[in-house]
Structure 1
């Protein structure tokens, strides 16, 4: 049936969305951990993380503030 191709495409799309979401979560965790580990050092800065991730500096600062606000533990 023609619906088999649609179902396969929908399944692949759902899996890709899950993978992208997991990758974004990993990226956020690593960015926050890096910034926390180097808070009192000149680099890496929010600008460096922004350049690497493609996020704006404001987004990087917001993510760090949100992680601090919810008490997210640093990754060892």
Structure 2
């Protein structure tokens, strides 16, 4: 294993342990405070980030810019009319 890969795994393990500490402290300790809450919410927020996204121009089946605007105005593009 490369050193960079080991460092990434160590960092992920350490941050995961920190997140679990904060969540368990919030759940079990009556004196838990803002720090634990910030760590727990921040970790949850990172988990919902769309990190597996690609730019719209590279996405398969992506819709063109302005599609909703044209649809609301009732206009069609050449592709939608069946013309090429």
More helix by share: 1
Larger radius of gyration, structure 1 or 2? 2
**TM-score normalised according to structure 2 size:** 0.38
**TM-score normalised according to structure 1 size:** 0.41
Which structure has more relative contact order (CA 8 Å, sep 6+)? It is 1
